[in-house]
Structure 1
Amino acid sequence: MNEKQIQGMNVANLARKVLNHTPIFILDVRNESDFNDWKIEGEKVNILNAPYFDLLDGVDEILDQIPDDQEVVVVCAKEGSSKFVAEQLVENGKQSISYLIGGMKSWSEHLEPVKIADLNDGGTLYQFVRLGKGCLSYMVISDGEAAVIDAVRMTEVFEDFAKENQAVIKHTLDTHLHADHISGGRQLAEKTGGSYWLPPKDATEVVFHYEKLEEHSQLVIGKTEINIQPIYSPGHTIGSTSLLIDNQYLLSGDILFVKSIGRPDLAGKAEDWVADLRTTLYERYKHLSDDLIVLPAHFGTIAELGDKGQVAARLGDLYKENPGLNIHDESAFRRTVSENLPPQPNAYQEIRQTNMGRISPTMEEQREMEIGPNRCAVHDDRSK
């Protein structure tokens, strides 16, 4: 067997194929439970789960399920198993076979930048789509300065992107204390000499210095005065704070998503925070302009991505179409957001402790803590 026949595909290449709706076949050789919990999705992605341990004696049983007219990518957790299976497929005459370099761990960490808009006075707003985790981060660039919102722990991506755009990161902000992924906001601010902002009501247990992200304070990025206006919007956490950029874009954090709404239980305070969540969604947001473009901090399924890979929706449209904004009976709303919720995020307590600065896991431990889908929404749309 000549290993040179086996090609590896990097996550950036696979991400572009998914976002460009290029037909591709995924052979996922992880065990069935891991596959059912979390997989690669896409409009033109066909996928087959065949556990590696069932293929140790050969791939004969799945050969007729592997297409000859599509590119095939074999995927496992870290890479090794998928490379072995890819070799077996090639040995059996299959063509256009590759394996995903770094496996699902690498897929979980990849960020794809998408331009959202040119802002007033010459600035630009970008969204960073973490396809394998459902996280969304943002960067505002204006006159050589940048602010990053809800940064994930892969901070080099933001540093490199700012450098490519001749900008210096002056501010990093978290809309709330995250529970499903490790924030890179504080680390990014330390590396770039910027200021790290966090809602004070979410920061009662943090052990580091931060700037208070609260209403009536405005951050100005660049000389063109692109205003980032904080709006207190509790419910997912007690400190959740939305950001209004240029009076056109509402960064809703984990309060409001395109297809669902935020869950109030990730700090063990569901009963206490239900009323706050309802007030934010049914009163505070209701007073905002219908024409605001909502940009959330997460998405649930690939179906929420637009034609350019962006996750965004007009606020007025969400009030018509989002099920979580149309539960008019208060008791029914309370039941919806406090009962029959999807499983809580993997290692969410340890992630919260990390984001408070109270524990310092290694990079490998951080990867393990984050494995799996985000589960910040009331409804887990992945099963639909």
Structure 2
Amino acid sequence: MTVYKMTAAQVARKVIENKKMFILDVRNHNAFEDWKIEGHQFQHLNIPYFELLDGVDEILPKIPTDQELLVVCAKEGSSVMIADMISQTGRDVYYLEGGMKSWSMYLEPIKVGDLTGGGELYQFVRLGKGCLSYMVISEGEAAIIDAVRFTDVFINFAKEKNVTIKHVFDTHLHADHISGGRQIAEITGATYYLPPKDAEDVVFGYTALEDELTVQIGASQLEVGALYSPGHTIGSTSFIVDGKYLLTGDILFIDSIGRPDLAGKAEDWVGDLRETLYRRYRELAEDLIVLPAHFMIIDEINEDGTVAKRLGDLFNENHGLNIADEKEFRQTVTEHLPPQPNAYQQIRQVNMGRVTPDDEEQTEMEIGPNRCAVR
């Protein structure tokens, strides 16, 4: 039978469209347990490739014949080899082009909704890393929030929409992924904003992202307003877009809350985190739609592929927003922290402009799951 190539973009559409697929992951067990391709209706079998070198006959009964079969490895080579072996048994089989490396890098733009004056809001979903970026569009202008490092994706999308990128924001100094915000601003001439309390050690120029700063997009009344919301970092800032959407950065997620420890200050910042979640956000309209900068689990993805939920629903459903006792909240947050993100200290240095690794080094820094939340 035949070996076919499947791209990360094609896999992403299967996730978003809730399709069935069977994945044979031939990486080692630790890598698979740490991080894998997830979909609402995906099934997995993890057998390291070196256990299959003598043949694949023993695993064939474990692989359903009524679903597409995708073989996945770290960078492609091993999956091509195993896929070829399976095809020789009479099965059609796919391999993931570029392996988990390509899956980590792919971005899927999805429209969240319409805005004032014909504007639009798009969420860029990085399924393989759990990162979420945003583009606000109105009357020929655009603003980008929390861009990841793949600058061409945002620049090309703006060209497709025939808009000029005027403003680029980072809600905070990121530690889990490398920001593309400053580079996009340099390429396009846009203004780059960063919270000054997070920027004490940066070595580049920026415009201060201050509490209650309001930026107008286009000539309409569409506004992006900043809301100081510390806790994940001391400078973390949220955005209210068009009075409809609350972009929470790494402070509040759909099924979890932000972690306060990535600068080594969990005990200091956990109080700020509670203040933001239990006072500042409680003062906002419950009909705001929360759009975070990350997701952790596949269940956070809606049927249309977006990651979004009404703030009032999160007040009722998110456990991190329902710990009445402050001491219990502090203990829950500081004693249940997940493992640190891969290379987070080096990533912080990159986002400060202090080191400039090449593309391959940046890819290796970012490999692995999202770990910015306490769940």
User: Is the aligned partner of 1:90 residue 2:87?
Assistant: yes
Q: TM-score, normalised by structure 1?
A: 0.96
Q: What SS class does the counterpart of residue 373 from structure 2 fall into? A: coil
| Distance of 1:341 and 1:12 partners within structure 2 | 32
The superposition leaves residues 143-190 of structure 1 with CA deviations (integer Å, 9 ceiling, x where unpaired) of 111111000001111111111100111111000001100000001111
User: Is the aligned partner of 1:363 residue 2:359?
Assistant: yes
Q: Percent identity?
A: 65
Match among 15, 18, 34 for residue 18 of structure 1 = 15
Aligned to 1:382: none
Residues 219-258 of structure 1 correspond to what in structure 2 (within 5 A)? Answer: 219-258=215-254
Q: What SS class does the counterpart of residue 331 from structure 2 fall into? A: helix
The superposition leaves residues 79-106 of structure 1 with CA deviations (integer Å, 9 ceiling, x where unpaired) of 00000000000011122x0100000010
Q: Give the unaligned 5+ runs of structure 1.
A: 380-384
| Distance of 2:138 and 2:321 partners within structure 1 | 34
Residues 258-297 of structure 1 correspond to what in structure 2 (within 5 A)? Answer: 258-297=254-293
| Distance of 1:338 and 1:253 partners within structure 2 | 20
User: Is the aligned partner of 1:119 residue 2:83?
Assistant: no
User: Is the aligned partner of 1:325 residue 2:321?
Assistant: yes
Q: Let me know the Cα RMSD of the aligned residues.
A: 0.9
Shift of 1:309: 0.3
Aligned residue identity for 2:149: R
Match among 320, 341, 354 for residue 345 of structure 1 = 341
User: Is the aligned partner of 1:177 residue 2:173?
Assistant: yes
Aligned residue identity for 1:371: I
Tell me which moved more, 355-364 or 215-224. 215-224
Aligned to 2:31: 34
The superposition leaves residues 277-299 of structure 1 with CA deviations (integer Å, 9 ceiling, x where unpaired) of 00000001000001111000000
Shift of 1:215: 1.5
Q: What SS class does the counterpart of residue 258 from structure 2 fall into? A: coil
Shift of 1:340: 2.6
Q: What SS class does the counterpart of residue 54 from structure 2 fall into? A: coil
The superposition leaves residues 4-53 of structure 1 with CA deviations (integer Å, 9 ceiling, x where unpaired) of x3211111111101110111111100000000000011111111111011
| Distance of 2:298 and 2:155 partners within structure 1 | 26
User: Is the aligned partner of 1:188 residue 2:184?
Assistant: yes
Counterpart contact for 2:18–2:303, Cα < 8 Å: no
Match among 296, 304, 308 for residue 300 of structure 1 = 296
Aligned to 2:331: 335
| Distance of 2:94 and 2:39 partners within structure 1 | 18
Aligned residue identity for 1:309: G
The superposition leaves residues 220-249 of structure 1 with CA deviations (integer Å, 9 ceiling, x where unpaired) of 111113111000000000000000111110
Q: What SS class does the counterpart of residue 349 from structure 2 fall into? A: helix
| Distance of 2:178 and 2:63 partners within structure 1 | 37
Aligned residue identity for 2:26: V
Aligned to 2:368: 372
| Distance of 1:125 and 1:17 partners within structure 2 | 23
| Distance of 1:154 and 1:56 partners within structure 2 | 36
Aligned residue identity for 2:88: E
Q: What SS class does the counterpart of residue 58 from structure 1 fall into? A: coil
The count of residues paired between Structure 1 and Structure 2 equals 375
Segments ≥4 residues shifted beyond 3 Å = none
The superposition leaves residues 57-95 of structure 1 with CA deviations (integer Å, 9 ceiling, x where unpaired) of 111221111221110110000000000000000011122
| Distance of 2:261 and 2:363 partners within structure 1 | 23
Counterpart contact for 1:125–1:140, Cα < 8 Å: yes
Aligned residue identity for 1:359: V
Residues 303-314 of structure 1 correspond to what in structure 2 (within 5 A)? Answer: 303-314=299-310
Aligned to 1:73: 70
Q: What SS class does the counterpart of residue 64 from structure 1 fall into? A: helix
Match among 55, 59, 72 for residue 56 of structure 2 = 59
Match among 150, 159, 166 for residue 162 of structure 2 = 166
Tell me which moved more, 54-63 or 122-131. 54-63
Shift of 1:216: 3.1
Aligned to 1:49: 46
Aligned to 2:97: 101
Aligned to 1:6: 3
Counterpart contact for 1:122–1:224, Cα < 8 Å: no
